[in-house]
Amino acid sequence: DGDEEGGEPKMPKSLPIGLGRQVSHEVMDKNLLAEEKMRLLREASEVLRVPIRVAGQLLLKCKWDPNALVERYVAEGDKMLEDAGISRDAVAVERDDPDEEIECEACFDDVPASKMFALACGHEFCKTCWEGHLSEAVKEGPVCLETTTCMNAECNEVVDEGSWAQLGDEDAYATYNRFLLRSFIDLQPSMLWCPNPSGCDRIVKYSGLRSDLQCTCGYRFCFNC
């Protein structure tokens, strides 16, 4: 209805901008972008009949191009998974007693089973070591999305997004997530970050109708420039 009394107006998550039915572009925040990414993951998961964690890593390998992913997966099958360091089915690691102490093969401390974690490959390490492993990995930059693997020296299982969320500390996961969203946007031909030099974290999704665009922050720019 209008501005809230004594405060700033609420900014919509997404705002189509244009004339009549010819919407030229849509402005998205990071939450809406994450929803769009998840929609793509679910679709790939259903088409390939693989878990979402697998679909996510495969899409990353194929530069977020679902058509390229399907074509390559049909041609290569499980060889594509092997080359990408992804296990289709997780190895079940079950413990009858969560307090049973297990030796972590990274730090050699005896740790309760409840504080151990394994990727789909089944190699267990304590969560403290995993946290340190991921904190070091993000220092390598965006390549960590595809190069961070199991701590077992002979295993190339890639750490998936869900495991990053579960094991990384707040800073490491925030950095990883920023790299992930940026890779998604940068490889979408119809999306770009608002280029406002004053700073803006919104994303503009272009429909192709016209190239002169305006973000909800007020900044105007040309999509083609």
Long-range Cβ contact pairs of 110-118 (< 8 A, separation 24 or more): 117/163, 117/166, 117/167, 118/91, 118/93
Give 37-93 as a DSSP string: HHHHHHHHHHHHT--HHHHHHHHHHTTT-HHHHHHHHHHHTHHHHHHHT--SSPPP-
State residue 13's pLDDT score.
45
123-137, 142-156, 176-190 — which is least confidently predicted? Answer: 176-190
* pLDDT reported for residue 19: 36
CA 215 – CA 25 distance, rounded (Å): 9
Residues listed for the chain: 225
Report the candidate in 124, 64, 131 with the shortest Cα–Cα distance to residue 93. Answer: 124
Residue 80 falls inside a structural domain: no
Asked whether residue 132 is domain-assigned, the answer is yes
**What is the helix (H) or strand (E) element at residue 165, kind and residue range?**
helix 161-167
Global pTM reads 0.77
B/e letters for 99-120, b = 16+ CB within 10 Å, e = fewer, are eeebebebeeeebebeebbbbb
Grade residue 209 by pLDDT with cuts at 50, 70 and 90. Answer: low
Encode pLDDT of 67-108 as tens digits: 999 999 999 988 898 888 888 777 666 666 778 899 999 999
Number of structural domains in the chain = 1
Residue 139 has pLDDT above 70, yes or no: yes
Residue 22: per-residue pLDDT? 46
The answer to whether position 14 is within a domain reads no
Cβ atoms of residues 134 and 147 within 8 Å? no
Task: Report residue 195 as tokens.
Answer: 């280029």
Are 160 and 201 in contact by the 8 Å Cβ rule? The answer is no
Both tokens of residue 104?
A: 């972590």
| 154: containing domain | 90-168
DSSP conformational letter for 107: T
**Is 160 inside any structural domain?**
yes
pLDDT bracket for residue 10 (50, 70, 90)? very low
Domain membership flag for residue 220: no
pLDDT (mean) for 4-21: 42
Q: CATH no. for residue 149?
A: 3.30.40.10
Q: What is the pLDDT of residue 11?
A: 40
Report if residue 113 sits inside a domain. yes
Q: Is position 82 within any domain?
A: no
Tokens of 107: 């730090």
Those residues with Cβ within 8 angstroms of residue 122's Cβ, 6 or more apart along the chain or in another chain = 90, 91, 92, 93
Choice between 191 and 16, residue whose per-residue pLDDT is larger: 191
Provide the pLDDT for residue 210.
66
Q: How confident is the model at residue 21 (pLDDT cuts 50, 70, 90)?
A: very low
**Of 13-22, 117-126, 199-208, where does the model show the most confidence?**
117-126
Judge whether 153 lies within some domain: yes
Do 209 and 24 form a contact (C-beta atoms < 8 A)?
yes
Mean pLDDT of 61-71: 92
- With tokens 């900014």, the residue in question is 11
Residue in the block written with tokens 């970050």: 193
